[in-house]
Amino acid sequence: MSAALAGQHQSLGLVNTLRLGLFQGCLGCLAVVFAGLLNRVMLSELGFPGLLVGGALAFEQFVAPSRVLFGQISDAHPVVGRHRIPYIWLGTALFCGLALLSIPMIFHVGRLLERASQPELGLGIAGLCGLFALYGLAISLATTPYLALVIDRTSEAERPRAVGIIWCLLTVGIVIGAIAISLNLRSLDGITDPALLEPVLLGFMAKVVVVVLALTVVATLGLEPCGVRDPSGSGSARRDDAITLAQAWALITSSRQVLVFFSFLVLFTLALFLQDPILESYGADVFGMPIAATASLNAFWGMGTLVGLLLAGLWIVPRLGKLATARLGCQLILASLVLLALAGLVGRVPVLQLVMLLFGLAAGIGTNSALVLMLDLTLPEAAGTFVGVWGSAQALSRALGKVVGGGLFDLARTLQQLFDLPASTYAPYALVFTAEAGVAFAALLLLSRVNLRQFREDTGRSLSKVLALELG
């Protein structure tokens, strides 16, 4: 029997769901450090071009197609009788080590930029991009089996509650990460000297990775029973492992509904994260906020997201349904982005904080329904494959968001100089938020084309054809 089928008969329970969610909390904390703190330091303190900041960090998501491969490996190749936890632990150890290395690498590139030395600068930028690509591979190695473990251990009936709890803990991790940054880095307010910034940031990152490693073990230890493989290679175990990468791609492209939902996930995630490379710098340049204060923007966003996740999971989804809630989430995200752009015209920090709280609320409502849809549209016969596909859609869109967000910001500043427009720190940010609102509208339109019943019918037939070819 495969690990997926073995785990389906054991309820996860509230305590184990909370424990499993600790890993998501760790990912949320790291996301604040990378998407918030390091973006801010590179863009505002070290003077990196926006495209370089977004492009370098995007390499974490450019390697997202590896999630399909890691899902396949996790399905087919157990380690010490387990399909998920050994890969989660290995990936976590790798991305923690790489996170620690990112600090000296960023400051090394900063020194090369200041000297404008070639070809050392080109090699430094390539090294920075390569480091973030390896970080992304390690994240993929850990998170794809983790999501497959969630599917393995939950029935369709209990999955919405489990998803809500686990993603609430992701948001709690974001809030805790933002608070930790504010408390630990308050001494850096007003400091721009790289010689003073680097050791403090390196020490802070070291503390973060130690906590992440410890909590990952606590979160997952004992949650996956040792699987019993079917030595005959027949039946369900054979079916789960039979799909190769080429066949997985054939399965994906054979169903129009898979492509529609894949595209929706790309646009939905892009609508949430296009502002990632520039949000904290928005607070710094337009609102005059120091490093510790801009980190608090993630806390406001996270608290709003937490409330949104709980509202959606406990009240909105049961009453409106998954698709209707996803539509509501997209509409609220669109409205929040318009308000985010308008907040810069007011220039008051409390207004920005309120808008970030509302943006988080919209994100939580939309994310809960999108995640439940994502897991419902995952066939248990190929859980690793589908989780890899959905994870790739989200990660690639986050990569695109970093590149496009940073690129639009640089484009606006270049146009200001090229056409001798009035100098404005606000205009480049407004362009990014306006474009992001357009993406949210496109996601809303695409969502109307998702049909759950048609998805299951089309994909079930496609999977049967793929497996029939494999089994001969």
* pLDDT band with cut points at 50, 70 and 90 for residue 3: very low
Measured distance CA(38)–CA(184) in Å, rounded: 15
| 466 inside domain | no
Cβ burial of 218 (10 Å; 0-12, 13-18, 19+) is: exposed
Least confident of 70-79, 154-163, 263-272, 339-348: 154-163
* Mean pLDDT calculated for residue range 77-106: 92
Q: Is residue 437, in this structure, part of any structural domain at all?
A: yes
Q: 309 in a domain, yes or no?
A: yes
User: Which tens digit of pLDDT belongs to each residue from 212-234?
Assistant: 999 999 999 888 877 643 333 33
Each residue of 109-119: pLDDT tens digit? 999 988 877 78
Let me know if residue 251 belongs to a domain: yes
Domain-located, residue 387: yes
pTM score of the predicted model: 0.72
Q: What is the CATH number of the domain that holds 348?
A: 1.20.1250.20
State mean pLDDT over 428-444: 94
Q: How confident is the model at residue 378 (pLDDT cuts 50, 70, 90)?
A: low
Tell me what the mean pLDDT of segment 417-421 comes to: 81
Q: 359 near 337, Cβ under 8 Å?
A: yes
Q: Is residue 87 part of a domain?
A: yes
Q: Is the pLDDT of residue 50 over 90?
A: no
17 falls within a domain = yes
Q: How much is the mean pLDDT over the chain?
A: 82
The Cβ-side half-sphere exposure at 439, using a 13 Å CA radius, reads 26
Judge whether 252 lies within some domain: yes
Most confident stretch, 72-76, 358-362, 462-466: 358-362
Residue 394 domain boundaries: 13-223+242-460
Burial class (CB in 10 A: 0-12, 13-18, 19+), 108: middle
Confidence tier at 6 by pLDDT (50, 70, 90): very low
Q: What pLDDT score does 275 carry?
A: 86
Give 152's pLDDT tier (boundaries 50, 70, 90).
confident
Amino acid at site 20:
L
Domain count, the chain: 1
Which residue in 148, 150, 142 sits closest to 18, CA to CA?
Answer: 150
Highest mean pLDDT among 129-143, 297-311, 360-374: 129-143
pLDDT of residue 387: 66
Q: What is the structure's pLDDT at 102?
A: 94
User: Angle at Cα 85 formed by Cα 80 and Cα 87, nearest 5°?
Assistant: 85
Pick from 71-85, 117-131, 325-339 the range whose average pLDDT is largest.
325-339
Q: Is the pLDDT of residue 471 over 70?
A: no
